[in-house]
């Protein structure tokens, strides 16, 4: 199981860097406001903040959400002027670790539960357990998603508070077990159902999209760069800081801006409609969550890029406490 532990002790106070810290925390605040406004727009039919230009008074609410969020970020920076960049970077990283850990527990709970539900549904075993009315409900993606999945997701976020590991290794093991189960049941018992393949795809998607942010923290992404290896720590800090904002953060914002652009966008639409695969009632009711995984990927990567930006600037300034990450073995 992957660990979140850092190899160095980070000092809370250091050389002031108000503008850099303000940039980082404003990014986090703007992201939070963007997500809140997406819920207001899709779930409660509030107009977008941009509608204030055309005079829609309802747009005042999302505008205020942005203003308050950024103001809180600025207030935090002003009220803690001596906090070190690495301390803020670590704090933002820990927030990201919690989100990733919570997502792991959520997909674990949902995957196991929905597989059980699908098995009982496919084999017509619900008739032996619940009433005819409830049998019909378990064939509805909206019912399963709203009544069963959402509480399980909430449970995942609660459990994540009390655990301290990320779960990537366990998720990879679960995928192997799920694949092995398919092989055994297919070739030994001549039994295979659509929900079995859906579970593998569901956990595969979660593994790769959720783990990307921590891989960035652990310097695990491949760098196609013949120059970077020869740079000094100061130059690397400058390159990483610029790349985090100009390439990393902008890519994440493009994904979020397109994916969460109204009720019919590519992420919002499947979630709102509890979209399922072509397997229908023979598969898992999790396609809408796999659309959400793309949003989670962009969110966690944006948060990690912000942390990476602050740490890179600290490296550029030669501040103490730099992490030394061992190169990956090949």
> Quick one: 149 and 204 in the same domain?
yes
327 occurs within a structural domain:
no
329 occurs within a structural domain:
no
> Quick one: 190 and 135 in the same domain?
yes
> Quick one: 183 and 310 in the same domain?
yes
Nearest CA among 241, 226, 207 for reference residue 309: 241
Domain end point (choices 38, 59, 83): 83
pTM of structure:
0.93
> Quick one: 153 and 202 in the same domain?
yes
323 occurs within a structural domain:
no
User: pLDDT digit of tens for each residue in the chain (330 aa)?
Assistant: 344 444 568 899 999 999 999 999 999 999 999 999 999 999 999 999 999 999 899 999 999 999 999 999 999 999 999 999 999 999 999 999 999 999 999 999 999 999 999 999 999 999 999 999 999 999 999 999 999 999 999 999 999 999 987 788 899 999 999 999 999 999 999 999 999 999 999 999 999 999 999 888 887 666 667 788 788 889 999 999 999 999 999 999 999 999 999 999 999 999 999 999 888 899 999 999 999 999 999 999 999 999 999 999 999 999 998 887 765 554
> Quick one: 306 and 219 in the same domain?
yes
> Quick one: 59 and 108 in the same domain?
no
Domain end point (choices 29, 50, 83): 83
Q: What CA dihedral angle connects 102, 204, 216 and 163, to 10 degrees?
A: 30
Residues 6+ apart with CB under 8 A from 165: 1, 2, 3, 4, 101
Residue 312's domain comprises 89-316
Q: How many structural domains compose the chain? A: 2
> Quick one: 266 and 141 in the same domain?
yes
22 occurs within a structural domain:
yes
Nearest CA among 108, 91, 119 for reference residue 203: 108
> Quick one: 75 and 118 in the same domain?
no
Q: Does residue 267 contact residue 259 with C-beta atoms inside 8 Å? A: yes
> Quick one: 136 and 37 in the same domain?
no
What pLDDT does 139 receive?
95
> Quick one: 73 and 102 in the same domain?
no
8 occurs within a structural domain:
no
> Quick one: 50 and 160 in the same domain?
no
């Amino acid at each position: 199981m992957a660990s979140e532990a850092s190899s160095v002790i980070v000092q809370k106070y250091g050389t002031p860097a108000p503008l850099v810290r303000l940039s980082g925390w404003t990014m986090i605040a703007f992201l939070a406001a963007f997500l809140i406004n997406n819920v207001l727009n899709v779930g409660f039919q509030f107009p977008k903040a941009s509608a204030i230009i055309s005079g829609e008074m309802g747009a005042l609410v999302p505008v205020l959400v942005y203003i308050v969020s950024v103001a809180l970020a600025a207030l935090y920076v002003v009220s803690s002027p001596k906090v070190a960049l690495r301390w803020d970077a670590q704090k933002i990283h820990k927030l990201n670790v919690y989100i990733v850990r919570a997502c792991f527990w959520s997909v674990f709970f949902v995957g196991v539960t929905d597989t059980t539900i699908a098995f009982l549904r496919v084999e017509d075993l619900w008739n032996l357990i619940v009433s005819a009315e409830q049998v019909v409900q378990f064939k509805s993606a909206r019912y399963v998603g709203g009544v069963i999945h959402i509480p399980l997701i909430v449970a995942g976020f609660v459990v994540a508070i009390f655990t301290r590991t990320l779960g990537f290794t366990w998720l990879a093991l679960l995928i192997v077990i799920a694949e092995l189960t398919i092989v055994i049941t297919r070739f030994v018992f001549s039994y295979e159902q659509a929900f079995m393949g859906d579970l593998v795809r569901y956990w595969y998607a979660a593994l790769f999209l959720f783990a990307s942010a921590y891989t960035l923290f652990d310097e695990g992404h491949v760098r196609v760069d013949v120059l970077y290896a020869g740079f000094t720590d100061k130059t690397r800090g400058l390159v990483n800081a610029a790349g985090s904002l100009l390439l990393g953060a902008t890519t994440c914002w493009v994904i979020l801006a397109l994916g969460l652009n109204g009720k019919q966008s590519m992420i919002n639409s499947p979630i709102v409609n509890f979209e399922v695969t072509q397997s229908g009632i023979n598969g898992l009711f999790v396609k809408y969550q796999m659309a959400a995984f793309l949003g989670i990927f962009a969110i966690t990567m944006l948060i990690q890029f912000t942390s990476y930006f602050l740490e890179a600037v600290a490296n550029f300034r030669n501040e103490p406490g730099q992490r030394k990450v061992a190169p990956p073995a090949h």
